[in-house]
Amino acid sequence: MRASKAVAAFDSASGMLRALSRFLSGRDVPAIGQLPAALEPPLTGLLGGLNLLPSAVQERAYAASGWAEAVPRRRIGDVRSDDLAEWVVGHYPKRRYPVIFVGSANGALVHLAAALHAPWLPQTLLLPLRRRGVAPDDPRGDLAAVADAGRALLAANPDLDLHHMHDPNQDRLMIAGMTYFRVKWRRLPEAYRRFVREHLAPGGLLVGVDCTLSWPTTRVDDRYVFQFGALGDAEPEEYHRGGPRVAEGAELEDVAVVDPGGGPGQ
């Protein structure tokens, strides 16, 4: 399966990769690099029209657009880590750079890389996986529904770790029809090594970027972890036990709060 079809275009890491690589090529970044510049004005008008629609219609359109990007479950085992790495390095102009960054996604880092005219090679990419029939507040159901797909992905890619994420707070609309498989390389892939050898200027710097933020996870297998919730305004305890803010938000959204029963991640 082509990497460009497997990686989520809506993810922040993908957006930052596109934005930085286009900047280094002297190009603008309309619609975070997903569309040609000529399509930006009509797209802006279309989105403006969508904003006038009822909220429920907007939400369905948003969820449907994300689902269309997601990988069919039967195809997830066809994804290859080497292809993902080649896809990343293929974004950048083939020239020498004084600095190359490798590692965690970070918005401030991308601004620094742009100022230094330096590429950034992400350590992690998001592969959205199509999945139906699981309520957003059912993390156990999500894990049970797609664990076999996660194992198939890892069996085909021994150099990857899988960080399976389920966040009913920040990703509520999207996870109605998909789940998030965030893959991370265990070691520097060959395409990255080759890019550094061929494009780091003599005497240049290779900078590793490490994110030290953490969140509770459940280990499913040796290279497979499940994460319920994510960094944001809500705390881990609120995901698992609820609280006044959760109850208030559920009331405003007119949704039922489902007890996850401790949920994966405990």
Q: Say if residues 237 and 132 touch (Cβ distance below 8 Å).
A: no
Residue 51 has a pLDDT of 67
Q: Say if residues 18 and 34 touch (Cβ distance below 8 Å).
A: yes
Residue 265 has a pLDDT of 46
Angle between helices 107-115 and 12-24 (to 10 degrees): 10
CA 64, chain centre distance (Å): 17
Residue 182 to residue 235: CA distance in whole angstroms: 21
Residue 105 to residue 125: CA distance in whole angstroms: 9
Contacts of residue 79, defined as CB under 8 A and 6 or more positions apart, other chains included, come to 1, 3, 6, 71, 127, 153, 156, 157
Q: 172-175 — which CB contacts under 8 Å span 24+ positions? A: 172/136, 173/59, 173/62, 173/63, 173/66, 174/62, 174/63, 174/66, 174/128, 175/134, 175/136, 175/142
CA 18, chain centre distance (Å): 13
Residue 266 has a pLDDT of 43
Residue 80 has a pLDDT of 98
Place of tokens 């509770």: 216
Residue 249 has a pLDDT of 65
Q: What is the CA radius of gyration of the chain?
A: 20
Alpha helices in the chain (DSSP H): 3-6, 12-24, 40-50, 55-69, 81-89, 107-115, 139-156, 190-199, 236-241, 244-253
Tally of CB atoms within 10 A around 55: 7
Q: Say if residues 203 and 211 touch (Cβ distance below 8 Å).
A: no
Tally of CB atoms within 10 A around 14: 22
Q: Say if residues 195 and 89 touch (Cβ distance below 8 Å).
A: yes
Tally of CB atoms within 10 A around 193: 12
Residue 263 has a pLDDT of 52
pLDDT along the chain (266 residues), means of 10: 91 93 89 55 63 71 75 96 98 98 95 97 97 92 97 97 95 91 97 98 97 94 96 87 76 54 50
Q: What angle do CA 1, 36, 119 make, to 5 degrees?
A: 70
Residue 146 has a pLDDT of 97
